[in-house]
Amino acid sequence: MSIRVFVTGGTFDKEYNELAGTLFFKTTHVPEMLALGRCKVDVDVQTLMMIDSLDMTDADRALILEHCRRAREERIVITHGTDTMEVTARALGPRLRGKTVVLTGAMVPYKFGSSDGLFNLGSALAFVQALPHGVYVVMNGR
């Protein structure tokens, strides 16, 4: 069973600029997180965008939907910002059939070292393999 992971940004992938005191995006940390977690599942990671979910538009959600529809995999994990994760889930839910899609994110950036992102990513990978077709949000093991 192969799983597609779509990266959209969010706190999950933010980094901290100590000089400016701001958060920014550089590249996704998902491959590093999968390696750290010793993931043995067949996973294909694709970055769709690197944005804060508060900046996500309907066009961005349409792009996510199209990639989900075109993915050859039946099981999909989407890393997403927590502020509008449920908006994206509601946009995908009625428009996707025959796929299990799990959205997850983090409250603390992975690069901070004490992030919930690693646990949430692992939980999402487990849930996407066990849940029936549908669109779900997975955070903190629930």
d(CA 75, CA 132): 10
Establish whether 11 is a catalytic residue: yes
CA atoms within 13 A on the CB side of 68: 31
Cβ neighbours for 117, distance < 8 A, ≥ 6 positions apart: 11, 12, 29, 33, 105, 106, 108, 109, 110
- Identify the active-site residue in 11, 79, 84, 88: 11
CA distances from 45 to 2, 6, 22, 100, 103 (A): 11, 6, 27, 16, 14
Q: Is the dihedral of CA 85, 86, 91, 97 positive or negative?
A: positive
Cβ neighbours for 58, distance < 8 A, ≥ 6 positions apart: 91
Catalytic residues: 11
